[in-house]
Amino acid sequence: MNVTALMNAFEELATLLEIDGANAFKVRAFRNATRVLRDHSHQLEALAKSDELTSLPGVGPGIATKVREFANTGTMQELEELRARIPPGVLAMTQIPSLGARKASVIHKELGIDSIEKLKAACEAGTLAQLKGMSAKTCAKILEGIAQAESFRGRLRLDEGWALAQPILEKLRDYPGVKRADVAGSLRRWKETVGDLDFVASTSAPREVMDFFVTLPDVTSILGNGDKKASVIIAGKVQADVRCVTEAEYPYAMMHFTGSKEHNTKLRTRAKDFGLKLNEYGLFREGTGERIPAGDEREIHSHLKLQYMPPETREDHGEIELAATGSLPVPFARSSLRGLLHMHTTYSDGKPSLEDYARWAHSNGIEWMGIADHSKSLVIAHGMKEDEVARQHAEINALNKQYARRGVRLLKGIESDILPDGSLDYPDHVLASFDFIVASVHSNFAMTEKEQTARICRAIENPHTTVLGHMTGRQLLIRDGYHVDQKAVIRCAAENRVAIEINGNPRRLDMDWRLIRFALDLGCKLTIGPDAHSLSGLNDAEYAMAMLRKAWATSSDVLNCLGVDEFLAHAAARRGGAPS
Ligand code: DGT
Ligand code: CA
Ligand code: CA
Ligand code: ZN
């Protein structure tokens, strides 16, 4: 069973039901069930086989029947009926941030608008503003949403890119005629979004490999199948290219197609300065045309008198200049992580219990876990009231006794909401009871840049604040962050010795990696924040680490690399406690 396709179908069905005016209770039950199924996606197949889907909370016989129907037929009859009745353009309209399913449905019914183009025209002509419940202001918002959606069109988040590319890569590598194969392009550089998927394969049988590639099960259409390159669309979503090269060409092709384009251009110029010519086929002596062999990219870099530059760094952001003088540091590695901070438990909107995290830390070689549930103002995420904070602290104390001999410690943190005026979410004596505080904005996004910047800076200046969480609130490919002067915020954090989080949730990857150097040069420290709501969410730390590698940050820049006592001393020093 294709679980991703199942989840997509369920989500589409929920939205279509909502557009169709189905009972709100039914829609909510459906969305809840979808979330539960997603959380158990690794065991869905087994549960469906043994007829135990209804053992999951919120999953009744109706939902279970639908899962089985999908497993058997690849679709659901109810979904097909709704698809036939509701134009795809109306479904597309629900993806615009300020326009939910209900509004989209009203606009469709009242004005017959069934596409984004028509919606845009009605906004611009002012006809939409006449509709009950609409105004010039909501129309302006919709237009802004459409413009954003257009600028995002055709790109995928990094995690979506990996999810689609990984199985293809495995099949390519297993194919008998393939010697070496890898992903290239922006995916290999771990850019936060990717435009298409690039593969390179070394083979002496390119025709067979490309014919195999274009008939992979995930391919929904073939764009081209030439001598050296084939292009397809994967899952109706994204283009994928494969280039077939010889063993000798392979490292050069990998380097070329990994890019970035700007990085490549600079490398070619450098090669020229040495009397060499560099392209996707190889490195050649100017004049004689003699080919200079290389087994891997490391050797190519060394031919160009450069340190090895990991793919993540290849953005022409100064990495070539550093590599030329031997000053590119060792890339940030997982092995330097001692603690993780920013994870949610059952006390707010997370699934794991405190003990689940302690156990995970023990089996994953992590010494401390900085628990950070939502604070009381974030009601929709079940933020913790004061008495719950006290209960959580007592439970942490008890667990810490139990886990001390296993070398694991849970820290009493909180993800405190930054209130509209920039204050934190609890009275001082409660704030003082936490080991550390991640301060984050979750509300009142619509402030001017000046107001938002002042609000966040005020939170940074609060002596209880240890870390600034997801600095801009951006949701990749969905909405830009709130308006804020990021450099002013970073300066303020540096002055106040508040660390800035690199939020590893692949929907956020916030703060943006392009600002990491700026922050580090001012002496700012960073944290890796998985922002986990499940145990598997802890693995999102991988994305944050990739962002650190993109900016060649080192372990001394990152608070997660401190031992637990050093980290606690750092947080205490901020509050005027013991100096760090
Ligand atoms: P994307 O797909 O928009 O996320 O970004 P990339 O970097 O994957 O770009 P893509 O797929 O167009 O091309 C893959 C790599 O091929 C790119 O990073 C560098 C190389 N490349 C493509 N076009 C050119 C070019 O005109 N000149 C040079 N020097 N390299 C190029
Ligand atoms: Ca690409
Ligand atoms: Ca490409
Ligand atoms: Zn948050």
In the predicted structure, residue 11 carries a pLDDT above the cut 90? no
The domain 338-575: what is its CATH number? 3.20.20.140
Contacts 24+ apart (CB under 8 A), 220-225: none
The confidence band for 577, taking pLDDT boundaries of 50, 70 and 90, is: low
Q: Which segments of the chain belong to CATH 3.30.210.10?
A: 252-324
Contacts of 132 (CB under 8 A, 6+ apart): none
The vertex-458 CA angle with 457 and 464, nearest 5°, equals 105
The confidence band for 96, taking pLDDT boundaries of 50, 70 and 90, is: confident
Q: Which segments of the chain belong to CATH 3.30.460.10?
A: 156-247
Q: Which segments of the chain belong to CATH 1.10.150.110?
A: 1-86
The confidence band for 205, taking pLDDT boundaries of 50, 70 and 90, is: very high
Nearest CA owner, ligand 1 atom 27 = 261
Atom of ligand 1 at shortest range from CA of 264: 29
Candidates 151, 153, 186: which one to mutate for ligand 1, based on the most atoms within 8 Å of Cβ? 186
Domain 252-324: which CATH class?
alpha beta
What average pLDDT does the segment 327-344 reach?
Answer: 97
Tens-digit pLDDT profile for residues 548-557? 999 999 999 9
Atom of ligand 1 at shortest range from CA of 155: 4
Tens-digit pLDDT profile for residues 230-243? 999 998 889 999 99
In the predicted structure, residue 477 carries a pLDDT above the cut 80? yes
The DSSP symbol for 296 reads: S
**Most confidently modeled range among 141-145, 279-283, 444-448:** 279-283
Least confident piece of the model among 7-11, 163-167, 426-430: 7-11
Assign 3-class secondary structure to 162-186: HHHHHHHHHHHHHCCCEEEEEEEHH
Whose structure tokens read 């039950």?
29
- String of DSSP letters for 42-54: GGHHHHHHTT-GG
Atom of ligand 1 at shortest range from CA of 259: 18
Topology given in CATH for the domain delimited by 1-86? DNA polymerase; domain 1 (1.10.150)
Q: Calculate how far, in angstroms, residue 546's C-alpha sits from the geometric centre of ligand 4.
A: 20
Nearest CA owner, ligand 1 atom 16 = 257
Q: Calculate how far, in angstroms, residue 240's C-alpha sits from the geometric centre of ligand 3.
A: 7
Give the C-alpha separation, 295 to 386, whole Å: 61
The confidence band for 579, taking pLDDT boundaries of 50, 70 and 90, is: very low
What average pLDDT does the segment 216-226 reach?
Answer: 91
Atom of ligand 1 at shortest range from CA of 198: 11
Q: What is the pLDDT of residue 132?
A: 86
Nearest CA owner, ligand 1 atom 3 = 195
Q: Which segments of the chain belong to CATH 3.20.20.140?
A: 338-575
Q: Calculate how far, in angstroms, residue 257's C-alpha sits from the geometric centre of ligand 1.
A: 6
The answer to whether the CB of 257 is under 6 A from ligand 1 is: yes
User: Which of the four CATH numbers 3.90.228.20, 2.60.120.10, 3.40.50.720, 3.30.460.10 does domain 156-247 have?
Assistant: 3.30.460.10
Q: Over the chain, what is the mean pLDDT?
A: 93
- String of DSSP letters for 406-443: GT-EEEEEEEEE--TTS--SS-HHHHTTSSEEEEE--S
